[in-house]
């Protein structure tokens, strides 16, 4: 069974298919694995993708960009108003909702953002189906964490209008985790992951906890003021000043020239992620004058240094908000196209010196791949479970600890059942004791966060045969949904066992 995962971003959309147990991004008809989320309206047709983006230079008033910003929002929403001032395509109000005013030839038509999104979804569907060679409609769509219900509904409607069967909508950070297969191999264990997503127009940092295979968002931060376009804009400023310096022409008053320069700066930025320097060349930029300029990576990093700082800053504040330190983070996932910038990766690595930075996947495809993996899990299921995007789950409130001695003989705590484990849970530990002893005492403690542990109970195991090697004791810790704890332990040598039940405080 094949299924599709779609990441629908502000600037770009990406589709991955899940087939034969693996998920892969498919290239569109232009050969690109990522399709710009731009829709251009012409007299007789609508074009989506790179062609529309390039046609924006000539057809700016009829080209819709960043439709995701207004999707599902009301007209009087401040975000809509901001979008209205930024975009070149006129937006009008109709029954409280924003509509794009598209002038096709003679007549003017009003296009809802949902219709624009539908066009993009259609394009993604075509891409996926041409790669698969068959009709596939089951899909998982990613949404940003901060999307409100109405926005999710609008996105779902747009996808369904394009003929998709939306299996589920998942959050972008979780999809990124799935793509790296974090926490999927085994259900036990607890770890913290930081997902750093720097997309075209927004920055999102999320700290997630994975416990018992379930992913839980601890805290998240979104900034719509910074993204790949900010870097491009900085570069455009630089290029414009270069042009002015060498040709004494000011291009800032020429919107078409600015768009050309913007497209060129975009290319330069992309090249600089892999090369030391890049060449910018624009034919007939302004008043017939050609423009050529070389930008080095160092120059670019200098230009954007303040922006880099701004995009790194949220990580620290977020960690303190979640009550975690940099060392608590086990993994850092980078995603979003701008996470390719080498300088940025360095800066993040500096923040987490001991942590593995996961950037082996192309960061802009990562989320789509995660969505496709989730789609692969869901496809063919009868009961898709909850319609809600988030599910409430009972988890243990405190760490369950066992008091032991470490090698030096000092008292130490071992975690039997970490806090936040989904319930009911059952953990099996093999404890070892010194062979010369004939009786053991298992002291069970619980600990909330950073507080001092408090003792819950004590289990005494007696009459063991002293022997040369260590005693191995099987301990099974089971916690029910209400939080009551059952601990049983048995010595492997003679099968002597002991069990207790600790009821949950009501």
Partner 1 sequence: MLLEAKNGEETVVYKAAAASVQVLVEPVGRWFEAYIRRRNRNLSASFQELEEEEESSEDEEDEEFQLEEHPMLRTLDPKDWKNQDHYAVLGLPHLRYKATQRQIKAAHKVIVLKHHPDKRKAAGEQIAEGDNDYFTCITKAIEILSDPVKRRAFDSVDPTFDNTVPSKGEGKEKFFEVFSPVFERNARWSSKKTVPSLGTPDSSFEEVDSFYTFWYNFDSWREFSYLDEEEKEKAECRDERRWIEKQNRASRAQRKKEEMNRIRTLVDTAYSCDPRIKKFKEEEKARKESEKKAKAEAKKREQEEKEKARQAELEVVRLAKEKEEEEARQAAQQAKKEKEIQKKAFKKERQKLRSTCKNWNYFADNEVDSVKMMEEVEKLCDRLELTSLQSLNEILASGSKEESKAAVEKQVEEVNIQLQKEKESEAQARQAARSAEQASGGGGGGKGWNEEDLQLLIKAVNLFPAGTNARWEVIANYMNLHSTSGMKRTAKDVINKAKNLQKLDPLQKDEINRKAFEKFKKEHTSVPPSIDKATPSERFDGSEGNAAPWTTEEQKLLEQALKTYPVSTPERWEKIAATVPGRSKKDCMKRYKELVEMVKAKKAALEQVEAKNKK
- When binding is defined by CB under 8 A, the residue of 27, 153, 161, 217 that contacts partner 1 is 217
Name which position in 39, 175, 333, 367 contacts partner 1 (CB under 8 A).
Answer: 175
- DSSP-derived secondary structure letter, 33: S
Q: Give the residue with the Cβ less far from partner 1, 40 or 212.
A: 212
Q: Which CB, 341 or 423, lies closer to partner 1?
A: 423
- Regarding 410 and contact with partner 1 (CB under 8 A), the answer is no
Shortest Cβ 10–partner 1 spacing (Å) = 22
Between CA 472 and CA 416 the distance in angstroms is 16
Map the footprint of partner 1 across residues 318-377, applying CB under 8 A: 370, 374, 377
| Site membership for partner 1, residue 439 (CB under 8 A) | yes
Largest CA-CA distance found in the chain, in angstroms, rounded: 97
User: Of these, 74, 190, 216, 224, which contacts partner 1 (CB under 8 A)?
Assistant: 216
Q: What stretch of H or E contains 378?
A: helix 366-378
Nearer to partner 1, 162 or 210 (CB): 210
- Please, what is the minimum distance in Å from the beta carbon of residue 191 to partner 1? 13
Q: Which helix (H) or strand (E) holds 171?
A: strand 165-171
Instruction: Name which of residues 108 to 167 contact partner 1 (CB under 8 A).
Output: none
**Rounded distance between C-alpha atoms, residue 118 and residue 114, angstroms:** 6
Region 51-70 residues binding partner 1, contact defined as CB under 8 A: none
Contact 166, 141 (CB under 8 A): yes
Q: Least distance (Å) from partner 1 to the CB of residue 124?
A: 20
Half-sphere exposure (CA, 13 Å, Cβ side) for 223?
19
Structure-token pair, residue 38 = 């731009």
Q: Does residue 396 belong to the site contacting partner 1 (CB under 8 A)?
A: yes
Please report how close the Cβ of residue 248 comes to partner 1 at its closest, in angstroms: 56
With binding defined as CB under 8 A, does residue 498 bind partner 1? yes
Q: Is 194 in the site for partner 1 (CB under 8 A)?
A: no
Nearest distance from residue 330's CB to partner 1, in Å? 16
Name which position in 379, 416, 423, 478 contacts partner 1 (CB under 8 A): 423
Can you tell me which of 454, 465, 492, 494 binds partner 1, judged by CB under 8 A?
454
Residue pair 155/117 in contact (Cβ under 8 Å)? The answer is yes
| 168 is a site residue for partner 1 (CB under 8 A) | yes
**Contacts (Cβ under 8 Å, ≥6 apart) of 383:** none
Torsions phi, psi of 200, nearest 5? -70, -40
Is 492 one of the binding residues for partner 1 (CB under 8 A)?
no
User: Which of 389, 413, 429, 493: binder of partner 1 (CB under 8 A)?
Assistant: 389
Residue 500 binds partner 1, judged by CB under 8 A: yes
Positive or negative CA dihedral for 198, 209, 166, 75?
Answer: negative
- Applying CB under 8 A, among 437, 466, 492, 494 the residue interacting with partner 1 is 437
Cα 305 to chain centroid distance, Å, stands at 24
Cβ 435 vs Cβ 468: under 8 Å: yes
Query: Under the criterion CB under 8 A, does residue 408 sit at the interface with partner 1?
Result: no
397 is a site residue for partner 1 (CB under 8 A): yes
Contact status: 246 vs partner 1 (CB under 8 A): no
Residue span binding partner 1 (CB under 8 A) among the ranges 33-41, 111-119, 182-190, 330-338: 182-190
Contact 422, 394 (CB under 8 A): yes
Find all residues with CB under 8 Å of 202, minimum gap 6, and list them: 10, 144, 222, 223, 224, 226, 227
| 401 scored as a contact of partner 1 (CB under 8 A) | no
Distances (CA, A) of 503 to 401, 402, 475, 491, 499: 16, 18, 18, 24, 13
User: Is residue 422 within 8 Å of residue 397, measured between CB atoms?
Assistant: no
Please identify which residue in 130, 284, 441, 492 interacts with partner 1, judged by CB under 8 A: 441
Distance of closest approach, residue 172 Cβ to partner 1, in angstroms: 10
CB burial string 5-17: b at 16+ within 10 A, e below: bbbbbbbbbbbbb
| Single residue of 103, 233, 349, 484 touching partner 1 by CB under 8 A | 484
Interacting span for partner 1 (CB under 8 A) from 93-101, 152-160, 233-241, 480-488: 480-488
Rounded CA separation 154/167 (Å): 15
Q: Is 405 in the site for partner 1 (CB under 8 A)?
A: yes
**Among 5, 67, 431, 478, interactor with partner 1 by CB under 8 A:** 431
Q: Quick one: which of 306, 455, 494, 497 contacts partner 1 (CB under 8 A)?
A: 455
Shortest gap between Cβ of 377 and partner 1 (angstroms)? 6
Query: Alpha-carbon dihedral of residues 160, 163, 166, 171, nearest 10 degrees?
Result: -70
| Total chain residues near partner 1 (CB under 8 A) | 82
- Torsion region of 80: left, alpha or beta (phi above 0 gives left; psi -120 to 50 gives alpha): alpha
Vertex 153: Cα angle to 149 and 157 (nearest 5): 175
**Residue 478 contacts partner 1 per CB under 8 A:** no
CA dist., res. 19 & res. 5, Å (int):
11
Q: Which stretch binds partner 1 (CB under 8 A): 232-240, 289-297, 343-351, 398-406?
A: 398-406
Do β-strands 35-36 and 12-19 pair in parallel, antiparallel, or remain unpaired? antiparallel
Helix (H, G, I), strand (E, B) or coil at 223: strand
Q: How far is the CB of 33 from partner 1 (least distance, A)?
A: 22
In the bound state with partner 1, the residue whose beta carbon lies nearer, of 53 and 171, is 171
């Amino acid at each position: 069974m094949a299924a599709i995962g779609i990441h629908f971003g502000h600037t770009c959309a990406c589709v991955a298919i899940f087939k034969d147990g693996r998920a892969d991004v498919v290239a569109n008809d232009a050969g690109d694995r990522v399709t710009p989320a731009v829709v251009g309206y012409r007299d007789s047709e609508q074009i989506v993708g790179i062609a529309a983006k390039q046609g924006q230079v000539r057809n700016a008033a009829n080209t819709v960009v960043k439709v995701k910003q207004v999707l599902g929002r009301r007209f009087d929403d401040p975000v809509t108003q901001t979008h209205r001032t930024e975009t070149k395509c006129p937006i009008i109000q109709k029954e409280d909702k924003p509509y794009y005013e598209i002038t096709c030839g003679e007549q003017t038509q009003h296009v809802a953002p949902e219709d624009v999104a539908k066009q993009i979804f259609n394009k993604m569907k075509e891409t996926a189906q041409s790669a698969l060679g068959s009709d596939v409609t089951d899909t998982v769509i990613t949404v940003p964490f901060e999307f409100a219900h109405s926005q999710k509904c609008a996105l779902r409607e747009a996808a369904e209008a394009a003929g998709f069967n939306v299996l589920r909508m998942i959050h972008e950070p979780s999809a990124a985790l799935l793509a790296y297969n974090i926490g999927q191999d085994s259900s036990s264990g607890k770890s913290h992951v930081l997902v750093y997503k720097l997309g075209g127009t927004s920055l999102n940092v999320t700290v997630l906890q994975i416990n018992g295979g379930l992913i839980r968002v601890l805290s998240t931060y979104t900034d719509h003021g910074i993204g790949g376009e900010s870097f491009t804009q900085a570069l455009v400023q630089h290029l414009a000043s270069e042009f002015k310096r060498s040709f004494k022409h000011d291009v800032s008053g020429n919107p078409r020239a600015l768009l050309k320069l913007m497209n060129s700066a975009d290319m330069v930025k992309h090249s600089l992620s892999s090369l030391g320097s890049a060449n910018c060349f624009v034919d007939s930029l302004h008043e017939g004058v050609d423009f050529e300029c070389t930008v080095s990576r160092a120059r670019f990093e200098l230009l954007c240094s303040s922006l880099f700082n701004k995009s790194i800053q949220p990580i620290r504040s977020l960690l303190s908000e979640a009550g975690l330190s940099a060392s608590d983070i086990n993994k850092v996932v980078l995603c979003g196209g701008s996470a390719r910038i080498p300088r940025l990766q360095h800066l993040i690595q500096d923040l987490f010196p001991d942590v593995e930075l996961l950037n082996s996947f192309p960061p802009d495809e990562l989320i789509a791949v995660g969505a496709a993996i989730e789609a692969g899990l869901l496809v063919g299921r009868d009961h898709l479970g909850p319609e809600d995007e988030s599910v409430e789950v009972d988890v243990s409130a405190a760490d369950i600890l066992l008091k032991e001695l470490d090698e030096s003989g000092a008292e130490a705590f071992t975690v039997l059942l970490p806090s936040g484990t989904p319930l009911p849970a059952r953990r099996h530990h093999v404890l070892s004791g010194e062979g010369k002893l004939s009786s053991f005492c298992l002291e069970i403690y619980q600990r909330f966060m950073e507080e001092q542990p408090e003792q819950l109970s004590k289990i005494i195991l007696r009459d063991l045969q002293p022997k040369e090697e260590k005693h191995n004791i099987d301990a099974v810790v089971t916690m029910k949904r209400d939080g009551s704890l059952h601990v049983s332990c048995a010595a492997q040598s003679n099968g002597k066992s002991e069990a207790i039940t600790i009821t949950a405080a009501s």
